[in-house]
Structure 1
Amino acid sequence: MDFEAIKKQAANYEKDMTKFLRDLVAIPGESADEKKKLERAKAEMEKLGFDKVEFDPQGNLLGYMGTGKKLIAFDGHMDTVAIGEKKNWKFDPYEGYENDTEIGGRGTSDQEGGIVSAVYGAKIMKDLGLLNDDYTVLVTATVQEEDCDGLCWQYIINEDKIRPEFVVSTEPTDGGIYRGQRGRMEIRIDVKGVSSHGSAPERGDNAIYKMADILNDVRALNNNDWTESTSIKGLAKMLQEKFNPEWEEARFLGRGTVTASQIFFSSPSRCAVADGCSVSLDRRMTAGETWESCLEEIRQLPAVQKYGEDVVVSMYDYDRPSYTGLVYPIECYFPTWVIPEDHAVTEALMETHHNLFGDKRQGPDTQIKMRAARPVLDKWTFSTNGVTIMGRNNIPCIGYGPGAEDQAHAPNEISWKEDLVRCAAFYATLPTIYTQKNK
């Protein structure tokens, strides 16, 4: 392969990719409202000569390049989070901006830049005659990831009946190759009480006070050490061989966490004892933890046991319609996943990086010092569609994408033109390297 030719062709498309990304940023599109963004992406795919471009019933955009045997997918989600407090932005989040090196706007790093690079990576394959009978490339621009990561791929796999050889997530990786992430789940605790007049609280049974006891135990579960003397052993115990057969991968991914994220109450008035209280917990899971084990962990907390049948611990469900009106219910459980360091897919990405860019992370001048100090092979802190691709369905998944993880959901979000170009070259190269090694 002529790696310099691939990099040169990617550089030739810098202006086109910049325009495409800025066009996407200019169209607001939070979860379940991605239609106009996806129509713009469909037009770009058709302009660039994709062999087939279609929407599925959920609204995911599927663009195919080539007609070979192995299906290799590049995934990016089209939806963004909201802009938050607009006063925190130094520029209009939808108008965005660009200078010689940067592109600003909501969605630039998280994660429409990845879609842009994947679309043009496929175009470079076609330009340079890299497509052959060995592989077909699928570029997906998916929906509702910010609301329910992985829902889109559960639909693609189970209903569209699409099962790629492997999937590259184009979420931002700061120039690294990411081979996993902690999982997460959304837990709800409901506590019952009995109301009474606020002037005589002893006649009632205050649900908020019960919940306060439970929340103290939840905090201890997150903060405590794992030693035998601890009445509530902290989540750090999963990093120890004694408690977790998967402790080595757990140490790679990092320990799990739990925190209260929302609180609700019911009460007849502000002059009464609360007769109900509920909280949402954000639970991040490392290797070796499951949704069953996490629910049971909460159920066994001393305060939960103390209040017995007055406490219900459950997992949330997600059933919000997509922009097409389709409802595809799923549990709010997003499994941990990690692809082995010696997996054929991991080795193909590492070889691609070595051939194109050497053995250190690449990036713009403002980022390179931080990036170069980190290993090329690493993991995400946040969650991605990999929770379903590999976590639920065991399809190999790995990440390489433009932009920076710390820009996700932040005001003044930016990405870098250099990242778009580099990732497009990487994506164009990878399928040939993988198929040559795995015939």
Structure 2
Amino acid sequence: MDDRLRVKAEELQPQIVDFTQRLIQTRSISGEEGAIARLIQDEMRKLGYDEVLTDPAGNVIGILRGRGQGETIMFNCHMDHVSEGNLADWEYEPYGGTVAGGWVHGRGASDVKGAIASQVYGVYLLKALGIELQGDVILTFVIDEEPGDMWGMKHLCQDWLNRPVSLVVLGEATSLDIYLGHRGRLEMELIGRGKMSHSSAPWLGVNAVTKMAPVITKLDELSRSLPEDDVLGKSTLSVTHISCQPGWGSTVPDICRVWVDRRYLPSESTEEVVNQFKQAVAECQAADPDINVECRIRQLAHTSYTGISETEQLLKQPYLVPQDNPYVQKVVKALQDIGQNPSFGVWDFGTDGSYTAHVLGIPTIGYAPGEEEYAHRPTDRVRIDFLIKAAVGNAAICRAVAGCYPKEV
């Protein structure tokens, strides 16, 4: 077993931990990633990456060039994170980057700032050791992942990625295991329309909220009959939001909006899933002609920190990379060769890997130091030993996919 990567990573542990802390200390809510984008660029320039740049949307790209005789591998993390929520729930200050008990604590530590540090320094290990690669290594750090519609990744791939990529490695939490995909996710918006009246005379109106109730009940019935997959788990349907207009206490509402989170399997098409909602509404309307509900995939407006504004559907396709995929097997062997013994897994949540895997057809896996159980929680944290192991693992994955020069290195 070649031990050079581990020894060098342990030597660089103070820098890796310090970078993780600075990432956590840099608040980067979706749409506000400018400061962390500059921080990541500065770190990669300091470490001597061959090229560091941003695309028009504000995604950050770093390149370690090979000799042009091998395959290209792309690493990816998102720069944004969810809100810290109620400060009283936190043991450690969410933007403190506190080191305690062998962990770095704070918002985004597991999702995915620890992974950013392990990717930036993992690829740097090769440069620090003078290990030249045959192919290129691209690091990409995207905006606006948390809202759930892959807007940042779409811009990166459409506006900048103009070369073939053999493998994408996501930094979403995997506990150093290899994750191979996830269920799809779409968010449906149901818009019910009624007739407004004074609430003292409800018979003069049509209450959009009460007319929506049978539809919600029908969807609840549907949720109990959804299919299940041995690897990806069960399809799910969850009502996540209900609102009405005008929302005055003395007025029968004429508009009711419902948002529904639908997780689905590769065996279910997006069209099939959308039609399930339409069918549920049609059955309710057949029983009550006053029910008037429109179904559509919800759209979300974005404005990047660079000023680009667009609207995108809240939709991620499911994907699952086979365990026997040649690149997956290369990664397994590379990690085993450095003494790691990863298992295979899948995410409960969705990722930007849906774009690279489903839209672009690139094998896309996850390998990262974060642990899924801490994502989005006030206990957000990442293990320091996992940061170092992930850096070593990322370097080993680079060697396996991009290839070393000379080949016997």
State the TM-score, normalizing by the size of structure 1: 0.87
Distance across 1 between alignment mates of 2:296 and 2:247: 25
Q: Which residue of 1 aligns with 2:160?
A: 160
Deviates more, 1:6-15 or 1:286-295: 286-295
Q: Which residue of 2 aligns with 1:245?
A: none
- Structure 2 contact 192–257 (Cα < 8 Å) conserved: yes
Please point out which of 247, 259, 263 is paired with 1:284. 263
How far has the Cα of 1:435 moved from its partner?
4.5
Aligned length: 399
- Structure 1 contact 183–284 (Cα < 8 Å) conserved: yes
Q: Which residue of 2 aligns with 1:140?
A: 140
Distance across 1 between alignment mates of 2:29 and 2:87: 16
Q: Which residue of 2 aligns with 1:379?
A: 346
How far has the Cα of 1:99 moved from its partner?
2.6
The alignment partner of 2:369 has SS state of coil
Deviates more, 1:110-119 or 1:391-400: 391-400
Q: Which residue of 2 aligns with 1:418?
A: 385
Q: Which residue of 2 aligns with 1:205?
A: 206
Distance across 1 between alignment mates of 2:118 and 2:107: 17
Instruction: Rate the CA distance shift 1:120–1:221 in 2: closer, same or farther, 3 A.
Output: same
State the TM-score, normalizing by the size of structure 2: 0.93
Distance across 2 between alignment mates of 1:178 and 1:328: 31
What CA deviation, in whole Å up to 9, does each residue of 1:406-430 have, x standing for no partner?
1110002110111110011011111
- Structure 1 contact 89–412 (Cα < 8 Å) conserved: yes
Report % sequence identity.
Answer: 28
CA RMSD of aligned residues (A): 1.9
- The correspondence of residues 255-334 of structure 1 with structure 2, limited to 5 A, is 255-267=234-246, 269-301=248-280, 302-303=283-284, 306=287, 310-334=292-316
How far has the Cα of 1:119 moved from its partner?
0.6
Distance across 1 between alignment mates of 2:318 and 2:392: 29
- Structure 2 contact 103–382 (Cα < 8 Å) conserved: yes
Q: Which runs of 5+ in 2 are unaligned?
A: none
How far has the Cα of 1:268 moved from its partner?
7.4
Q: Within the alignment, does 1:57 sit opposite 2:38 as a pair?
A: no
Q: Within the alignment, does 1:335 sit opposite 2:317 as a pair?
A: yes
Q: Which residue of 2 aligns with 1:389?
A: 356
Q: Which residue of 2 aligns with 1:231?
A: none
- The correspondence of residues 183-202 of structure 1 with structure 2, limited to 5 A, is 183-202=184-203
What CA deviation, in whole Å up to 9, does each residue of 1:55-96 have, x standing for no partner?
111101100012334221110111111100111011211113
Instruction: Rate the CA distance shift 1:433–1:268 in 2: closer, same or farther, 3 A.
Output: closer
- Structure 2 contact 135–403 (Cα < 8 Å) conserved: no
How far has the Cα of 1:204 moved from its partner?
2.1
How far has the Cα of 1:304 moved from its partner?
5.2
Q: Which residue of 2 aligns with 1:244?
A: none
Instruction: Rate the CA distance shift 1:125–1:405 in 2: closer, same or farther, 3 A.
Output: same
- Structure 2 contact 5–395 (Cα < 8 Å) conserved: yes
Q: Which residue of 1 aligns with 2:126?
A: 125
The alignment partner of 2:396 has SS state of helix
Q: Within the alignment, does 1:406 sit opposite 2:407 as a pair?
A: no
Q: Which residue of 1 aligns with 2:396?
A: 429
Deviates more, 1:395-404 or 1:344-353: 344-353
Q: Which residue of 1 aligns with 2:96?
A: 95
Instruction: Rate the CA distance shift 1:307–1:130 in 2: closer, same or farther, 3 A.
Output: farther
The alignment partner of 1:319 has SS state of strand
Q: Which residue of 2 aligns with 1:41?
A: 40
Instruction: Rate the CA distance shift 1:124–1:96 in 2: closer, same or farther, 3 A.
Output: closer
- Structure 1 contact 182–285 (Cα < 8 Å) conserved: yes
Q: Within the alignment, does 1:176 sit opposite 2:141 as a pair?
A: no
Distance across 2 between alignment mates of 1:270 and 1:312: 25
Distance across 1 between alignment mates of 2:75 and 2:42: 18
The alignment partner of 2:61 has SS state of strand
How far has the Cα of 1:340 moved from its partner?
0.9
Instruction: Rate the CA distance shift 1:307–1:341 in 2: closer, same or farther, 3 A.
Output: farther
Distance across 2 between alignment mates of 1:307 and 1:290: 29
What CA deviation, in whole Å up to 9, does each residue of 1:368-417 have, x standing for no partner?
xxxxxxxx011111111101111222111000001110111000211011
Distance across 2 between alignment mates of 1:253 and 1:327: 34
Q: Which runs of 5+ in 1 are unaligned?
A: 225-233, 240-249, 362-375
The alignment partner of 1:390 has SS state of helix
Distance across 2 between alignment mates of 1:144 and 1:346: 27
Q: Which residue of 2 aligns with 1:109?
A: 110
Distance across 1 between alignment mates of 2:72 and 2:256: 49
